[in-house]
Amino acid sequence: MAIQGTSGVVGWIIPLVKVTIVSLLVLGGGISFPFFASDMESLLSTLETLSAVLCLWWPGLGALISVPLLVVAPHYAHFGLGLVAMGFTAVMAAIRWRPRGVVALAAIHLSFVLYDSVIVKLPIRTMAVVAALALCYAVGLWIRTWLGNQALGENQIEALSRRTALAREEERTALAGELASLLVRNLNDTTRALERAGRDPDPENARHILSRVGDESRSALARLRLLVTTLRAPANAADAVSLAAAIEWFEDELVSHGFEVEIEGSDGIGSRDVASVVSGFLRMGAEAIVASAPPGAVCTLEVDTGAPLTLCLTCAGLSPTICTARVASRSRPPPPAAPSRSPISKA
């Protein structure tokens, strides 16, 4: 896979390195101004320096110019800049080209090394050229891997940002629905109940309606308090506050309707997603018990804090058993515990 480009620090480091290399090549005497081509060595020096510069941006064009020059170079004393151009071409090709192109360029370089060894017949020089080219390819492949990891990290950060934005939107929608359920529906029900109580000629019925309105208002107020407490909690304490507030609301809700409540096995549940599930499950269970459980019914809440976290509520009048399961947070796994039962008996 070719590396097309990066952002951030890498985006300005690579151009800076290229400009520095070009400056060193020019100031080092490879190109003189005006161009002097009085002899073959000066011409080779100028053309090889240009090929070294070109290969920093276009490795293919740099190789096209440098390789023929290197074929001629062994017949002359000049060779250094041609080797530099070849090394730069190897590095940039290893970074930017696909593997097939890198292999083809390496074959061309190897052909030149064999040709040079036949013409010059210096084994030490041939070994030095092979080592230099191998080092250039290794550096290019290392840079390619590093850039690929950087690009992968940036993509992961972008994906995480998108998931975070989606989670925020889902949370905002859930909060909007919760507030609508708490405020709009309960206010409408309260208004209609008060209107019926005002029109009812029987004082006993009116008192019964007002009592039910008071119970529903207290329940809605407790749920609203739970929601506000969770939202106002600091980030590092929101998990524990949310769970504690959910359990407290569950107890208050059932006690206000004449139930006796005992909660066990809730320690060790601390992540935000688990606390959210517990809160919703307890709210649903409390509403179902109050609405459907007959007087004197015995209700059982089973809490298993293992992985996944499991809550089951069994009560006469509730069929089938209400259960929920959620995998606990990996960052803070709850300690293993056997399922515990807490009786909820109607007074």
- Nearest residue to 131 (alpha-carbon basis) of 143, 116, 149, 113: 113
> How far apart (Å, rounded) are the C-alpha atoms in residues 54 and 33?
18
> How far apart (Å, rounded) are the C-alpha atoms in residues 106 and 344?
78
Q: In angstroms, how far is the first alpha carbon of the chain from the final one?
A: 71
pLDDT in tens, the chain (347 residues): 444 444 444 455 556 555 555 555 544 444 444 444 556 656 666 666 666 666 666 666 666 666 665 555 554 444 555 566 677 777 777 887 788 878 877 887 777 777 777 776 778 877 888 888 888 889 888 988 888 888 888 888 888 888 888 877 877 777 777 777 667 777 777 788 887 777 777 778 877 878 877 777 777 776 676 666 555 544 444 444 455 666 666 666 666 666 666 665 555 454 444 555 666 677 777 767 766 666 666 777 776 666 666 777 777 666 656 665 543 333 333 333 333 334 444 44
> How far apart (Å, rounded) are the C-alpha atoms in residues 268 and 35?
79
Instruction: Tell me the whole-structure pTM to 2 decimals.
Output: 0.40
139 and 53: one domain?
yes
28 and 155: one domain?
yes
140 and 254: one domain?
no
In a domain, 197, yes or no: no
The total number of structural domains that make up the chain: 2
**Helix or strand or coil: residue 52?**
helix
231 and 155: one domain?
no
Chosen domain end from 159, 177, 209: 159
| Pairing mode, strands 318-326 and 309-315 | antiparallel
In a domain, 1, yes or no: no
In a domain, 327, yes or no: yes
151 and 81: one domain?
yes
Q: What range does the domain containing 252 cover?
A: 221-346
